[in-house]
């Protein structure tokens, strides 16, 4: 699960996202927080990424 959902302040702006379902979900499953951006070495906070073309 994305670490920025209620678990870690790892978003580009150094905050987390409030997601009401996460605590309820955690009652039923083991959540493993992952932040791909931090895993590849991007810092927190960091400049936002803007997609120009896909």
> Domain-by-domain residue ranges, the chain?
1-47
Asked whether residue 22 carries a pLDDT value surpassing 90, the answer given is yes
* Cα 27 to the center of its chain, rounded Å: 19
CA distances from 5 to 2, 51, 54 (A): 6, 22, 25
Asked whether residue 54 carries a pLDDT value surpassing 90, the answer given is no
Calculate mean pLDDT across residues 40-53: 92
Rounded to a whole number of angstroms, the CA Rg of the chain reads: 13
Report the percent of the chain where pLDDT is more than 90: 89
């Amino acid at each position: 699960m994305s670490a920025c959902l209620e678990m870690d302040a790892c978003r580009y702006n150094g905050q987390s996202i409030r997601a009401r379902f996460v605590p309820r979900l955690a009652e039923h499953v083991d959540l493993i927080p992952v932040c791909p951006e931090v895993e590849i070495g991007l810092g927190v906070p960091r400049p936002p990424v803007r997609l120009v073309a896909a």
